Amino acid sequence: MIVAKFGSSSLQTIEQIKKIKSQILDSDHQMVVVSAFGGDKFGKKLTDVLIGIYQETIIEKKMALITPFLAYHQDIISALKCQKDYSQLFKEATNRMLNGDYDTCLATGEYLSATILSEYFEMTFVDSRQLIFFSKDQTVDIKRSSAAILDASKQHRRCLVPGFYGDYKGNIHLFTRGGSDITAAVIAYAIDATLYENWKDTDGIYNDDIKTHKVYYDFLSYESYYKLLSLGNRVIHKEAVDFAQLKEIPIRVCSVDTGGRGTVIGNVSQREKYLKRRFSCAG
Ligand code: ASP
């Protein structure tokens, strides 16, 4: 079973979202995790927009930030021709942004994207508050989370889960930034996934800044990836790789825009298998 995570860079445009539905998702993707939508319109990530909303203390000014934030989501709903009535969802989101604590406010981006995309992708929305549980020391209670995730995977054929947050004693609790990677890794761990796909706007991992397109890696061992991380090349969250490594689940970093190619991070013994697969794909 494959777990797929779509980051905000792969949820920037309506074209990308349509492509995910028609070309990427299939019945193998039983559990899918999404970040908040890409926030190009705001010139920053939607989570950063939410930080601004949280920090604003004057209610009118808060609303002046919330209104375009929700309008942006409404535009996506319209462009995707979603049919459901989202007025209740928007009411709830507004309440979370106005009255919620920091974690609740910031989780609104993922909560909205997952709810909207669950309709568009025709998947069951399963809230991460029902799947990811934190312990007192802020780490994931992996035993409790695994049991809940396994349960959900048996109950629902295709689940869509918001990344970035979980539950601590009945309240929303966030991972660190980029934490949707971890949500998907915990799910992959719990269901013993055969592969963890992490879809981005880059076709894989390069030896330096991914934008400079220097040396491209087809395959990286977990250890080599950690080394790159220590040099500042942060494509996947370290904690996500930690969970995958515990069960030797390979991670494929791939691009929604260019498809096919992708860097696999895994155990060295998996190298041949994944390189062979790539070449046979290339024909
Ligand atoms: N939206 C959150 C962030 O910007 C989590 C994520 O994207 O993984 O950090």
pLDDT digits (tens, 9 = 90+) for 142-199: 999 999 999 999 999 899 999 999 999 999 999 999 999 999 999 999 999 999 999 9
Kindly give the distance from the C-alpha atom of residue 101 to the centroid of ligand 1, in angstroms, as a whole number.
17
The percent of residues above 90 in pLDDT, for the chain, comes to 80
Q: Cα(242)–Cα(247) distance, rounded to whole angstroms?
A: 9
The position carrying tokens 């915990």 is 186
Q: Is the CB of 178 under 6 A from ligand 1?
A: yes
Helix, coil or strand: residue 13: coil
Between 26 and 219, the more confident residue is 219
Q: Is the CB of 180 under 6 A from ligand 1?
A: yes
Kindly give the distance from the C-alpha atom of residue 272 to the centroid of ligand 1, in angstroms, as a whole number.
33
- pLDDT at 280 (0 to 100): 41
Top mutation candidate among 11, 35, 51, 69 for ligand 1, by most atoms within 8 Å of CB:
35
Kindly give the distance from the C-alpha atom of residue 34 to the centroid of ligand 1, in angstroms, as a whole number.
9
- pLDDT at 279 (0 to 100): 46
Helix (H) or strand (E) holding 87: helix 87-99
Task: Please classify residue 243 by burial: count the beta carbons closer than 10 Å to its beta carbon, then call 0-12 exposed, 13-18 middle and 19+ buried.
Answer: buried
Q: What is the DSSP string of 39-74?
A: -GGGTS-HHHHHHHHHH--SHHHHHHHHHHHHHHHH
Residue 81 falls in which region: left (phi positive, over 0), alpha (psi -120 to 50) or beta: left
Q: Is the CB of 47 under 6 A from ligand 1?
A: yes
Query: Interior CA angle at 150 toward 88 and 89, to 5°?
Result: 5
Rounded to an integer, the average pLDDT of 93-118 is 98
The percent of residues above 70 in pLDDT, for the chain, comes to 94
Residue 115 has pLDDT above 60, yes or no: yes
Kindly give the distance from the C-alpha atom of residue 179 to the centroid of ligand 1, in angstroms, as a whole number.
6
List for the chain the helix, strand, coil content (%; round to 5).
50, 20, 30
Residue 210 has pLDDT above 90, yes or no: no
- pLDDT at 212 (0 to 100): 58
- pLDDT at 283 (0 to 100): 27
**How far out from the chain centre does Cα 236 lie?**
11
Do residues 23 and 17 make contact, with C-beta atoms less than 8 angstroms apart? no
Residue 200 has pLDDT above 50, yes or no: yes
Q: Cα(120)–Cα(223) distance, rounded to whole angstroms?
A: 38
Average pLDDT taken over every residue of the chain: 92
- pTM equals 0.94
Beta strands per DSSP E along 60-164: 124-125, 159-162
Residue 214 has pLDDT above 50, yes or no: yes
Give the atom of ligand 1 at the shortest distance from the alpha carbon of 7.
7
The position carrying tokens 């990811």 is 132
Q: Is the CB of 100 under 6 A from ligand 1?
A: no
Rounded to an integer, the average pLDDT of 238-244 is 97
The per-residue pLDDT for range 69-82, each reduced to its tens digit, is 999 999 999 999 99
Between 124 and 26, the more confident residue is 124
Q: Is the CB of 128 under 6 A from ligand 1?
A: no
Q: Is the CB of 162 under 6 A from ligand 1?
A: no
The per-residue pLDDT for range 219-235, each reduced to its tens digit, is 999 999 999 998 888 89
**Buried/exposed code over 76-97 (b: 16+ C-beta within 10 A; e: otherwise):** bbeebebeeebeebbeebbebb
Residue 278 has pLDDT above 60, yes or no: no
Between 37 and 234, the more confident residue is 37
